[in-house]
Amino acid sequence: MNPTVAHFTDVFYTNRGALSTVQNVGDLNVYANSGTAPQPGCYSNASSQISMHECSHMKALKWYADAVRNETKYLATKCEDCMLYLSYKYCQENDQIYFGPHVDTKK
């Protein structure tokens, strides 16, 4: 995956470093819940690590499908550092954009 595969690529990370890349590969890179497993509803259990990672990875498909049905469901904030955003609410005043097939590619 890279930005040249389409006019505009928006990538929704839900399992970085396990079943997906740690590189930013889209024009818009969105990190749901920091982009790592476990995602909500995908619990970490030592005996089922693969299931937890698969579940987290599949959340991207579910949430993208949700965004198809509701184009204002997922609002992303532009920020250079995910951890600063999560820890200190850094970037609160930055541009925001709705993720999904209706994304404003001009922002």
User: What pLDDT was estimated at residue 66?
Assistant: 94
The residue with greater pLDDT, 17 or 40, is 40
In order of 16, 30, 103, the CA distances from 95 in angstroms are 23, 13, 13
Mean pLDDT along residues 6-17: 87
User: What pLDDT was estimated at residue 28?
Assistant: 87
As a whole number of angstroms, the distance between CA 2 and CA 11 comes to: 10
Q: What is the pTM of this model?
A: 0.77
Distance of CA 40 to the CA centre of its chain: 13
As a whole number of angstroms, the distance between CA 51 and CA 31 comes to: 20
In order of 79, 80, 81, 91, 97, the CA distances from 94 in angstroms are 7, 10, 12, 5, 10
Radius of gyration of the chain (CA): 14
User: What pLDDT was estimated at residue 89?
Assistant: 77
pLDDT reading at 50 higher than 70: no
Question: Is the N-terminal amide bond of 101 cis, ω within 30° of 0?
Answer: no
Least confident of 10-24, 45-59, 62-76, 82-96: 45-59
Question: 55-86, pLDDT tens digit by residue?
Answer: 999 999 999 999 999 999 989 888 888 888 87
- Closest of 75, 80, 81, 82 to residue 96, by C-alpha: 75
Please report, for the chain, the start and end positions of each structural domain, with discontinuous segments joined by +: 10-98
The residue with greater pLDDT, 91 or 107, is 91
